[in-house]
Homo-oligomer: A and B are copies of this chain.
Amino acid sequence: MEQHMSEIVTAAFIVIGDEILSGRTKDKNIGHIADILTSVGVDLKEVRIVSDDEDAIIDAVNALRARYTYVFTSGGIGPTHDDITADSISKAFDLPCEHDVAAIELLRDYYKGRDIEFNEARQRMARMPKGATHIANPISIAPGFRIGNVHVMAGVPSIFRAMLDNVLPTLETGAKLISTTTPCPFGEGIISTPLGQIQKDNPEAIIGSYPKLAESGNFMTDIVVRARSEEVLERTTGAVRALVARLLTEQDTGQ
């Protein structure tokens, strides 16, 4: 993993699947990839969930691969008629979608060892855009693939996670965004104005405030400061903590 301390590396994630949009399946990959990319200094800038529809997939892939350093996808790479990701990505890149020779061999060996017929449907899982490289799948063998800056992975969470682990060492990563969280017993209505001033005074930091409804019915907030340097993080967090301390001595707890 090559690290560029000064460069900002960005990413988008595309979840492909009608089952997420219908509510039948609850996505478990968005939160995971967000955590992982943040931890290695890649900024996840956008997520899209699209249906099993060729035009929808092509539009999303082409819009996002032009805009961000990396694109990741999940879903639609199995053997059934509704698994159209490989074809759609190939069309997005204007490349033929072919049975990859190395993937065919991997799968042939795998099924042979389990005495299972390597039928036409299973061979479908070896299809990918011409020139793509594999993303290894230690769980069910059928590989994901990378073409250009787009990484195509399975939707089943255990396989998605294993594939993402295999992709990470190949990524260029940026200066890691580090953060602090300061819990604040006051709602946004109290902290908003002085917090806005701290943001203005510390433009290199990114300050977010996240309201939580306490059991008492009052709002509290978590104030999160993010920065790419320890120095900016410490200075800004110090200002936030001083604000909370001041409010604790001055304010009622009304929201």
Binding site for B on A (CB under 8 A): 15, 18-27, 30-31, 34-38, 43-52, 56, 78-83, 111, 114-117, 119-122, 124-125, 139-140, 156, 158-159, 177, 179, 188-193, 195-196, 199, 206-213, 219, 224, 226, 252, 254-255
- Cα distance A38–B24 when bound, in Å? 9
User: CA of A212 to CA of B159 in the docked complex: distance in angstroms?
Assistant: 11
User: Which residues of B lie under 8 Å from residue A79 when comparing CB positions?
Assistant: 188-189, 192
One of B35, B82, B119, B188 near A80 (C-beta < 8 A): B188
If A156-B213, A208-B82 touch, whether A219 touches B140 (CB-CB below 8 Å) is yes
Beta-carbon contact of A46 and B35 below 8 Å: no
> A19 and B81 in contact (CB under 8 A), knowing A49-B30, A121-B192?
no
Bound state CA distance, A124 and B193, in angstroms?
10
Selected from B44, B177, B193, the residue in CB contact (under 8 A) with A120 is B193
Kindly state the separation between the CA atoms of A206 and B208 in the bound complex, as whole angstroms: 42
- Stoichiometry, as copies per complex, reads 2
Is A45 in contact with B21, judged by CB distance below 8 angstroms?
Answer: yes
Chain A to chain B contacts (Cβ below 8 Å), 6 pairs: A23-B34, A23-B44, A46-B49, A48-B48, A79-B189, A116-B252
- How far does the alpha carbon of A210 sit from the alpha carbon of B46 in the complex, in Å? 26
The answer to whether B21 and A195 touch across the interface, beta carbons within 8 angstroms, is no
How many angstroms between the C-alpha atoms of A136 and B8 in the bound complex?
40
Chain B nearest CB from A24 CB (Å) reads 6
The residue in chain B whose Cβ has the minimal distance to the Cβ of A254 is B116
Beyond A82-B209, A196-B81, whether A47 also contacts B21 by CB under 8 A is yes
Extra 6 A-B pairs, beta carbons < 8 Å, given A46-B48, A156-B211: A15-B47, A19-B210, A23-B34, A78-B209, A124-B192, A158-B213
Most buried by B among A38, A78, A111: A78
> Would you give the shortest CB distance from A169 to chain B, in whole angstroms?
20
Give complex CA distance A52, B43 in Å: 13
In the complex, which of the residues B24, B124, B195 contacts A81, with contact meaning CB atoms closer than 8 Å?
B195
Q: Inside 8 A of A189's CB, which chain B residues have their CB?
A: 79, 116, 119, 121-122, 125
For A44, the chain B residues whose CB sits under 8 A away are 21-23
